[in-house]
């Protein structure tokens, strides 16, 4: 699996270069995978990005934390990124992020004597974090992101990597 990921990254980095200059109205969409600390499992989702200006974009995300330790979750986030270029070729951006989150955590197998074997808790929270993106070419970028979601009894750290198509 590691060899496959490294091969994919090497192939993307070998393609023609482009500018990471953000254009108003530019959009991107793609999957992301990672780790969530709340139940110590994998997290997967889809992310859409819309650039309002060169330094402001809106990012809705939908995802799920896979079941581990008898818990899983449905995740919905709306974040704001403020990217800025850090390389001379404008291919690399860093961005702080802030936003709101709606998480629905499910506990499974709580009481075997009851008909209800799943208990759900849905809560709103706040996201704070930072990310790194590398524009491979004019239509593809790689991202690495870390964020902390502050939610009563369900606060967690998320670390994800993604691949997005730019259009």
**Residues in contact with 141: Cβ distance below 8 Å, sequence separation at least 6, in sequence order:** 20, 28, 133, 134, 135, 163, 164, 166
Domain residue spans in the chain?
Answer: 25-166
**pTM here?**
0.82
Fold topology of 25-166: Porin (2.40.160)
d(CA 82, CA 85): 10
| pLDDT digit string (tens) for the chain, length 167 residues | 566 556 655 655 544 344 455 788 999 999 999 999 999 999 999 999 999 998 899 999 999 999 998 899 999 999 999 998 887 667 899 999 999 999 999 988 766 666 655 688 999 999 999 999 999 998 999 999 999 999 999 999 999 999 999 99
d(CA 75, CA 158): 11
- DSSP label at residue 87: S
**Cα→Cα distances 24→49, 54, 82, 105, Å:** 11, 6, 13, 36
Other residues' Cβ atoms within 10 Å of the Cβ of residue 51: 20
């Amino acid at each position: 699996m590691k060899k496959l990921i490294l091969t994919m990254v090497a192939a993307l980095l070998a393609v023609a270069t482009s500018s990471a200059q953000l254009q108003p109205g530019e959009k991107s969409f793609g999957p992301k995978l990672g780790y969530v600390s709340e139940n110590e499992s994998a997290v997967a989702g889809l992310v859409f990005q819309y650039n309002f200006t060169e330094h402001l974009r809106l990012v809705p995300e939908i995802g799920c934390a896979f079941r581990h330790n008898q818990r899983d979750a449905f995740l919905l986030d709306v974040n704001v990124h403020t990217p800025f270029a850090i390389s001379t070729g404008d291919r690399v951006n860093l961005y702080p992020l802030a936003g709101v989150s709606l998480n629905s955590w499910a506990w499974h197998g709580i009481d075997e004597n009851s008909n209800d074997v799943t208990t759900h808790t849905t809560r709103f929270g706040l996201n704070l974090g930072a990310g790194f993106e590398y524009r491979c070419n004019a239509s593809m970028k790689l991202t690495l992101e870390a964020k902390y979601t502050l939610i009563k009894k369900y606060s967690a750290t998320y670390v994800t990597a993604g691949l997005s198509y730019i259009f």
